[in-house]
Amino acid sequence: MTATLNLLVVVCLGYVAFLFLVAFAAERAALRGRGGWLRSPIVYTLSLSIYCTAWTFYGAVGYAARSGLEFLTIYLGPTIVMVGWWWGLRKLVRIGRTQRVTSVADLISSRYGKSTLLAVFVTLIAVIGTTPYIALQLQSVTASFASIAQADPNAAPLEDTRQIALSVAVGLALFTILFGTRNLDANERHHGVVMAIAVEAVVKLFALMAVGVFVVWGLGGGVGATLARIDASALDHWQVDGTRWAGLTFLSAAAFLTLPRMFQVLVVENDDEQHLRTASWAFPVYLLLISLFVVPIAVVGLEIMPAGANPDQFVLTVPLAQGQDTLAMLSFLGGFSSATSMVIVAAIALATMVSNHIVMPIWLNLTGGGAVMSGDVRNVVIMARRVSIAGVLGLGYVYYQMSGGGAALAAIGLVSFAGVAQFLPALMGGIFWRGATRVGALVGLSLGFVLWVWCLLLPSFGAGVVIPEAVMAQGPLGIGWLRPQALFGIEGIDPLVHAIFWSMLFNTGGFIVASLLSFPTPLERLQGAQFVNVFQHSARPQNWAGGTAQSEDLMVMAQRILGPGEAQALFQDEAQRQGLVGYLPEPTPDFLALLEREMSGSVGAATAHAMVGQIMGAATVSVEDLLAVADETAQMMEYSSQLETKSEELARTARQLRAANEKLTQISVQKDAFLSQISHELRTPMTSIRAFSEILRDGGALDPEAQAKYAGIIHDEAIRLTRLLDDLLDLSVLENGQVNLNIRTGVLAEVIDHAVAATGVEHGPLKLHRRRANEEVMLETDMDRLAQVFINLIANAQKYCDAEAPELTIAVGSRDGQLLVDFIDNGSGIPRQAQSVVFEKFSRVSDQKAGGAGLGLAICREIMARLDGTISYLPGQSGAAFRVTLPLAQRLAAQ
Amino acid sequence: MNEKPVPLFLERRSYRQRRLMDAARLLPLLAAVLWGVPLLWPRGGTEGAVSMSTAILYLFGVWVVLAVLAFLISRKLADDGEGAPGDGEGGQ
């Protein structure tokens, strides 16, 4: 088999189709909720491998061939960051998740008071830093095409490499648009893309290791022989310059955190913080494996390839030269994978930033009223993102074309790293130092950016291309200490290290000094506290005060950004939480913060804040929020929660006091009533007794019939008096505790039977419901007294139940060691205000139905107290309901 | 800054967890120190220069050790260490 260009194109297209399928299947699986395996820590770890681009796939070998082990620094930095996950990455990921951060620009802008200016600035630096990098990927793909074409004797020499670059760029744009903008909410994650890059990660690792194994065991003759070869080669000794070793390790560590594409996979696409746990060791292992064979390949390549062969292509050309076409094809796919996965993720990350921080604010400004106007914001955002993806790739292609794909491009990798590393002070300072301010971040970033452009970016195009050679040698306008590669007259430092050192120094210094000198806005302080103390309280910020917002307007806006279904669910949940019916909750600060956070997942924090702001009016921060920002937050909260507890306690006591007072008043009224009652109760029979006894004494002319009648009345009244006095006596005995109880054992059913028989209910209109099975309970108590209570209750029901067909239910149950006997009738019950006094002496519920003296229930209560039980009114039943409780322990003892 | 009283001494399990967190925090430092050692090596062309194979074995050996340590620590570290009471003293 010969590696023809045509075959290569076919394999390439087949591979791309395969990636499409993988991404499509992953999206489908995620949609159906079967995507559990999509969220495994391994997929997360593999997705991090977009750090290894084509530049590292091909370039590392070239790098090693030129500068020995220095290439390792590119991997050592990320390894240090990953093994230190507990310290930094964990916090970054937690913040990213709680604040629904969509990009590195979003995080920085969000931290510094949702500043749009910062977001735009960071986005611009990211675009400037990343575009050449994308161009680099296009170059490496075309270069690998060219290498294979050279080896193909049948193919005409590749003339228009630009054609290839263009088709690669267009294909990547299509793929990215298709799978990168399927859903709007960045927190919904791009399962398809992540899965595809995970597969690509495996392909490139496998490819590079396959080439490495072939070189070491196939050509080198085993590990020992290869090591001997290495020591015998041009790369025989440790050659690395110390400053570059340290500087580049730092640079790669910084870039690992700040590169937009790395931030995308590390933070934004992270599904579960726990994945970091696995990635903390698995990603270093990945990096180790991918760099393991670099030096052997370089050494063997230098040995067997003709002098002048491009070492950047050794991974491809060594197998080709050995006739290993399949291996070469695999190697080509590995490089292709590295390039495509980087470009895809970088394009998504940049497009998110550009659309959220540049396009959306402009669009909002242009449309004036913005969110409340007609038109679907979702479509606008998605369109903006698609256009941005195309734009980013277009820029990369234009850059590639303009630079001509020369050697100048090869150096751009580290230049790009140094550019995005300028975010580091603002990013790290933002999450670890509450004193960091927006002004500080702006000053630091500006200084770093200017120095980076002056010392590294512009000179990187080559002496005399952008900066005239005279300026390089003598400084601008002859000012010597401003020479791009010898600032302050300090010469002799490696240009890259020189640029990193000065830009980071001024960046960090400016950031710290300006932060110390400036004063942050309330929103900044609020966000600062949220970010730095993310582990203490992952609560969301409360930045909205006042209720001027119209819930309906908010709903209209939210529907456009989140989609109708999701927005309605969100609003309904909130309304329910607030205890309202329907879809429109009160626009409380809590809810507005939640809404803003949800929306920031789609359009970024600054834009979401601005959109809510348009509806809310000014971006106000309330006094409470300011208090929350202050250092004493925790104490304040502690104090206020104590106050809250105390005030609750006070309220409870006040309620109890009020109830007690009410009862006392009623009892006092009763006391008054008692006297008049007792005199009334005693006087009525007395009056008739006196009147009739006078008649009997005075009038002798009474016929015996009348005499008997009057004597009968006197007798009846005397009995009534006696009964009243008996009751009073009984009560007073019970109240004084002088009663003698006659404790016996018996069955509850018998007591009830006795009570029912004594009241004659069976012959009256009152219908009785009982469940005898439940009543077979052994009791050890005073049966007669208990029966007295029951008789009283049944008689009351007889007398007072006002239903047309009166019914009485006697229900027996037990709970917590208590026997419960409920007497429930179907009348209208006892009015609420009378319930608390129904057990007091002489209390009568209704005056019309004066039947007794009002002592019955008072006696019942005293009896039950003597029997260690209670009697209470049971509210909320179908009618009047009384509950008698007796301790069950007695029953058990009896059994 | 929380007003909650923080116990001065921790029970054995929490103590272990706390020291594991320290280890996790120190790991990048260890990495930087070990990989900083080559800064002391004499460079090629001078007397006693370190050979390439030795350099490779050393650098990759450190790498393996770090990966193993990271693996062990990440396994042992409790799921939600930061929620432990008394975070103020050793938390962030």
What's the whole-number mean pLDDT along residues A538-557? 52
pLDDT at A242 over 70: yes
pLDDT-derived band at A354, boundaries 50, 70, 90: confident
Task: Looking at A814-871, list the stretches that DSSP marks H as alpha helix, in order from N- to C-terminal side.
Answer: 832-835, 856-866
Give A564's pLDDT tier (boundaries 50, 70, 90): low
Cβ distance of A79 and B87 shorter than 8 Å: no
Residues B10-30: pLDDT tens digits?
677 777 788 888 888 888 888
Are A507 and B63 within 8 A, CB to CB? Answer: no
Task: For domain A743-894, say whether CATH 3.40.50.720 is its number.
Answer: no
pLDDT for the residue numbered A365: 73
Give A374 or A863, the one with higher predicted confidence: A863
Report percent pLDDT > 90 for chain A: 2
Q: Where in chain A is the domain with CATH 1.10.287.130?
A: 650-736
Residue B62 within a domain: yes
CATH label, A5-411, candidates 1.10.3210.10, 2.40.30.10, 1.10.287.3510, 1.20.1730.10? 1.20.1730.10
Helix (H, G, I), strand (E, B) or coil at A367: coil
Q: Is A277 within 8 Å of B77 when comparing Cβ atoms?
A: yes
Position A152 scores a pLDDT of 64
Q: Which whole-number Å values give the CA distances from A54 to A60, A331, A675, A676, in the listed order?
A: 9, 11, 105, 105
- Over residues A261-285, the mean pLDDT reads 84
Instruction: Say how far apart CA A810 and CA A240 lie, in whole Å.
Output: 97
Q: What is the CATH number of domain A650-736?
A: 1.10.287.130
Contacts with A, B 47-66, CB within 8 Å = 49-53, 55-56, 59-60, 63-64, 66
- Of the candidates A239, A281, A292, the beta carbon closest to that of B71 is on A281
Measured distance CA(A542)–CA(A529) in Å, rounded = 12
Query: A883 has which bridge partners?
Result: A822, A872
Whether residue A711 has pLDDT greater than 70: yes
Q: How far from each other are the two terminal CA atoms of chain B, in whole angstroms?
A: 12
Q: Which of A38-52, A443-457, B69-83 has the highest mean pLDDT?
A: A443-457
Cβ atoms of A524 and A456 within 8 Å: the answer is no
Q: Is the pLDDT of residue A538 over 70?
A: no
Supply the mean pLDDT for chain B.
Answer: 72
- Give every CB contact of residue A381 below 8 A, 6+ residues apart in sequence: A184, A355, A356, A360, A561, A602, A603
Q: Is residue B90 predicted with pLDDT exceeding 50?
A: no
How far apart, in whole angstroms, are the C-alpha atoms of residue A297 and residue A213? 9
Provide ipTM, 2 decimals: 0.81
Chain A partners of B63 at a C-beta cutoff of 8 Å? 79, 284, 288
Question: Nearest-CA residue of chain A relative to B76?
Answer: A277
Question: Does residue B34 lie in a domain region?
Answer: yes
**What are the residues whose beta carbons fall under 8 Å from the beta carbon of A403, sequence distance 6 or more?**
A132, A135, A409
- Partners of A285 on chain B (C-beta within 8 Å) are 67
Query: Has residue B44 been placed in a domain?
Result: no
Residue A372 confidence class, pLDDT cut points 50, 70, 90: very low
Range of the domain at B19: 12-39+49-78
Span A616-621, average pLDDT: 48
Q: What is the mean pLDDT of residues A347-352?
A: 84
Question: Does A618 score more than 70 pLDDT?
Answer: no
Please, where in chain A does CATH 3.30.565.10 lie? 743-894
Query: CA A882, CA A569: separation in Å to the nearest integer?
Result: 46
Phi/psi at A500 (nearest 5 deg)? -60, -45
The pairs formed by B79-83 with CB atoms below 8 angstroms and a separation of 24 or more are B79/A274, B81/B17, B81/B20, B81/B21, B82/A535
Q: Is the pLDDT of residue A480 over 80?
A: no
Tokens standing for A877? 């039943």
Residue A794 or A220, more confident: A794
Residues of chain A positioned with their CB less than 8 A from the CB of B38: 69, 238, 240, 245
Each residue's pLDDT tens digit, A841-881: 766 666 544 456 677 888 888 888 888 888 888 877 778 88
Q: Is residue B32 part of a domain?
A: yes
Residue of A328, A330, A341 whose CA lies nearest to A19: A341
Alpha-carbon span A448 to A428, nearest angstrom: 15
Residue B53 lies in a domain: yes
Residue B68 falls inside a structural domain: yes
Q: Is the pLDDT of residue A43 over 70?
A: yes
Are residues A214 and A319 in contact, defined by beta-carbon separation less than 8 angstroms?
Answer: yes
Q: Is A237's CB within 8 Å of B49's CB?
A: yes
Using pLDDT thresholds of 50, 70 and 90, give the confidence band for residue A543.
very low
CB-facing half-sphere around the CA of A353: CA atoms within 13 A: 33
Which pLDDT value is given to residue A509? 92
Least confident residue range of A180-189, A271-280, A309-318, B24-33 = A180-189
The mean pLDDT of A595-624, rounded to a whole number, is: 63
Burial class (CB in 10 A: 0-12, 13-18, 19+), A814: middle
Alpha helices in A433-536 (DSSP H): 438-452, 458-460, 469-474, 495-517, 522-532
Query: How much is the mean pLDDT over chain A?
Result: 78
Angstroms from A522 CA to nearest CA on chain B: 20
Residue A481 one-letter amino acid: W
Nearest to B28 among A83, A242, A278 (CB): A83
Contact B43 A239 (CB under 8 A): yes
* Beta carbons within 10 angstroms of residue A633's beta carbon: 17
Number of other residues whose CB lies within 10 A of the CB of residue A828: 13
Q: What is the pLDDT of residue A115?
A: 80
Average pLDDT value for residue range A614-622: 51
Distance from CA of A55 to the nearest CA of B (A): 21
Q: Which residue of A has its CA nearest to B87?
A: A536
Helix (H, G, I), strand (E, B) or coil at A813: strand
Q: List, for residues A138-152, the tens digit of each pLDDT value.
A: 888 887 877 777 766
- Residue A529, token pair as written in the block: 């506290």
> Which pLDDT value is given to residue A238?
77
Work out whether strand A767-770 and strand A778-782 pair parallel, antiparallel, or are unpaired: unpaired
| pLDDT at residue A816, as a whole number | 76
Query: Is residue B84 in some structural domain?
Result: no
Quote the DSSP letter at residue B32: H
- Return the pLDDT at B91: 39
Total domains in the fold of chain B: 1
pLDDT at A889 over 80: no
Whether B85 contacts chain A with CB within 8 A: no
Q: What is the pLDDT of residues A98-143, one digit of tens each?
A: 777 778 888 888 888 778 888 888 888 888 888 888 888 888 888 7
Which among A83, A242, A245 has CB closest to B31? Answer: A83
B36 touches chain A (CB under 8 A): yes
**CATH 1.20.1730.10, chain A: domain bounds:** 5-411
Please write the tens of the pLDDT for every residue from A1-31: 344 667 777 888 888 888 888 888 887 777 7
Q: What is the pLDDT of residue A846?
A: 61
Residues of A in contact with B55 (CB under 8 A): 69, 238
| CA–CA separation, A734 and B74 (whole Å) | 73
Please state, in angstroms and rounded to a whole number, the distance separating the CA atoms of residues A561 and A536. 31
Rounded average pLDDT over A306-331: 80
Q: Do the domain assignments include residue B60?
A: yes
Worst-scoring range by mean pLDDT, A290-299, A623-632, A854-863? Answer: A623-632
